[in-house]
A and B are shown apart, each in its own frame.
Chain A
Amino acid sequence: MNETVAAPASEIPTDADLAFDELYRRARDDVHAYVAGLLRDRSAAEDVTALAFERAYRRRQSFNPRRGTRRAWLFGIARNAALDELRRRRREATLVAEPADEAAIPPDQGAEVAIRRAALRDALATLAPRERELVALKFFAGLTNPEIAMVIGVSETNAGTRLHRVIEKLRRACDEAA
């Protein structure tokens, strides 16, 4: 005898549910890395990341593919949540950046590598927030240049130019430190 067990309609995942699940699996660490890079505060980054995914989940039905990729849409939400957090913290107290975790440099790495990484971190610390955001989007979150342009609301050319300027700035700072 064949028996078919039907799940309640409310439990059957929709296309939007499935797309969100896949987006979450692919982007969870990237979103966290981007937010942490922007806020420089692990605890706040966790809160903001969770909030961003919750907002994206609630609005998953309203995603419009004609306005960009799902990933860019998610990072737009994460960016708004992170900027709201920055505003909140600016109202409450001056933002104090979390000190760099020196222990994060593996002890087995050579001294030269350690020096280079320290120089890079110093250079990163000198970046303006907008520049740091570009670094976070490109190198921490792994967004493509068109996606970066979409998230920060500028043209692709503009995003590429800005990104190149930041990299140049970092390169000069690292060279000077060396």
Chain B
Amino acid sequence: MKLREHEMPLDPEVERELEEIDRALGGEPVDSDLDALAELARALREERVSAEPRFAAELDQRVADGFPRAGRLDQLRRRLTAVPPRRILAPAGAAATLLVVVGVAISQSGEIGGGNGNGGISPQPAPDQPVGVSPARPSGAGAEPAGGAPAERDAQATFLRDKRAASAANVPLARRRIARRVDLALSTSPERFRDAADGVLDVVRDHRGFVVRSNVSGGDPDAPRSQLGHGSFTLRIPVGELGAALGDLSDLGHVVSRTDGTQDITSRFVSVKKRIAALEKARQNLLRQLADATTVTEQESIRRRLEIVESQLSAAREDLGSAQRRVHLVPVSVTIDADRALADGDGGDGWGLGDAVDDAGKVLTVTAGVLLVSAAVLGPLAILAVLIWLGVRALTRLRRERALDQI
């Protein structure tokens, strides 16, 4: 087996000579056959340069003073001026690159995830499915000739083309039409159930909304569990009043759940408006053709087509109105259930032990999330920093060793 150099024992003669050198340096007698070696060792020792008394005294004083530091700024300036510019450029460039990478990563991370719409992050509007704006055919419209008349065909073709082209992507965010929907589930103590149900109507009135449908049953505090109060309300609240109205509604009981939904119906608006424009243009054309028609048959044909176009126009306008109402009057579904568990002191609207546990859980969840995100950002940076530190250390060691070879 071949031993590596550091595992190999010293040659006995070499070892003996080294020991004799140590003896000679320690002033001890050496073997007579190594007198010359001992003399060489002592001569080498005499070549040692002694420190000047002045220097020794100065250093003693500095040690006694504990090597007082110069001002931080002086130290920094001294360090910076001692380093050649070309040695600063590379680290500065690396640091700048790192900053850019981190900046980009952080900006990109904002686009990752995005939450579920219920976590305090603005919900992403769902792309609109083109709503059924197919023209409502008037009764008797089945008499329409196969292939349709030229003007109507033009309008239809224009509509279809516009519908395909009606990409809502170009509409600025501020002008986008967002339809919202809120579902709110409340619970109250049986004693408060009636007040809460009445309170819903008060809130709707105060915020200039209206009740589409309501259904309230039970409500007797002493009724058996199966007959406890239950109420459901379908409301329409003006979009400008929605936030305040939801706040007031939430105050009526314990919020069991709340679901906010949004739908981007910009494309529906765009396509309906374009369709209306196309139909109006077709109608104008038909009116001009009617004025120029010379025969009764021709006039009758144009009038039939005109009726069809006007019917479609009316339906489209109705569709537009419906879409506008959908945006401006937000459907809010409210359910209220009487819950006997809330009848005791800590239930109802107060903040109790259960709420405290819930809040603590939320705080812990958020804290864990923040820590996780921080670790995700800082972890790679820390690994990078450690790698850079190890690399710089190895490079410095290499350069130091090379300094001995390149004198």
Report chain A residues within 8 Å CB of B67.
53-54, 57-58
B 273-304 binary contact with A (CB < 8 Å = 1; else 0): 00000000000000000000000000000000
A77 within 8 Å of B (CB atoms): no
Indicate if the CB atoms of A37 and B404 lie closer than 8 Å: no
A129 to chain B, nearest CB (A): 4
Stretch of B56-64, B106-114, B370-378 at the chain-chain interface: B56-64
Indicate if the CB atoms of B404 and A133 lie closer than 8 Å: yes
A116 within 8 Å of B (CB atoms): yes
| Contact residues, A134-172 vs B (CB, 8 A) | 135, 138-140, 142, 144-145, 154-158, 160-161, 163-164, 167, 170-171
Indicate if the CB atoms of B18 and A160 lie closer than 8 Å: yes
Given contacts A157-B5, A167-B21, contact A130 B51 (CB under 8 A): no
B383 to chain A, nearest CB (A): 23
Sorting the interface of chain B by its residue count into under 10, 10 to 19, 20 to 34 or 35 or more gives 35 or more
Report chain A residues within 8 Å CB of B9.
157
Indicate if the CB atoms of B51 and A28 lie closer than 8 Å: yes
- Main SS of the interface on chain B? helix
Given contacts A53-B63, A54-B67, contact A167 B15 (CB under 8 A): no
Indicate if the CB atoms of A161 and B405 lie closer than 8 Å: no
Question: Nearest chain-B residue to A24 (Cβ)?
Answer: B63
Report chain B residues within 8 Å CB of A83.
400-401, 403-404
Report chain A residues within 8 Å CB of B72.
none
Indicate if the CB atoms of B403 and A90 lie closer than 8 Å: yes
B119 within 8 Å of A (CB atoms): no
User: Roughly how many angstroms separate A164 CA and B5 CA in the complex, as a whole number?
Assistant: 15
B8 within 8 Å of A (CB atoms): yes
Indicate if the CB atoms of B400 and A140 lie closer than 8 Å: no
Count of chain A residues near B, Cβ 8 A: 53
Indicate if the CB atoms of B399 and A164 lie closer than 8 Å: no
Given contacts A24-B63, A158-B5, contact A145 B18 (CB under 8 A): yes
Question: Nearest chain-B residue to A87 (Cβ)?
Answer: B403
Indicate if the CB atoms of A50 and B5 lie closer than 8 Å: no
Given contacts A57-B66, A90-B403, A142-B25, contact A157 B47 (CB under 8 A): no
Indicate if the CB atoms of A157 and B10 lie closer than 8 Å: yes
- Main SS of the interface on chain A? helix
User: Roughly how many angstroms separate A160 CA and B5 CA in the complex, as a whole number?
Assistant: 11
Given contacts A32-B51, A164-B17, contact A50 B59 (CB under 8 A): yes
B315 to chain A, nearest CB (A): 84
Indicate if the CB atoms of A160 and B404 lie closer than 8 Å: no
Report chain B residues within 8 Å CB of A130.
404-405
Apart from A130-B404, A171-B37, 14 more pairs, CB < 8 Å: A28-B51, A32-B51, A45-B49, A46-B52, A49-B51, A54-B62, A58-B67, A124-B47, A138-B44, A160-B14, A160-B18, A164-B18, A167-B37, A171-B36
Across the A-B interface, give the 5 residue pairs with the lowest CB-CB distance, nearest first: A155-B6, A83-B400, A139-B44, A36-B49, A86-B403
A residues contacting B by CB (< 8 A) are 21, 24, 28-29, 32-33, 36-37, 42, 45-46, 49-50, 53-54, 57-58, 80, 83-84, 86-87, 90-91, 95, 116-117, 120-121, 124, 129-130, 133, 135, 138-140, 142, 144-145, 154-158, 160-161, 163-164, 167, 170-171, 174
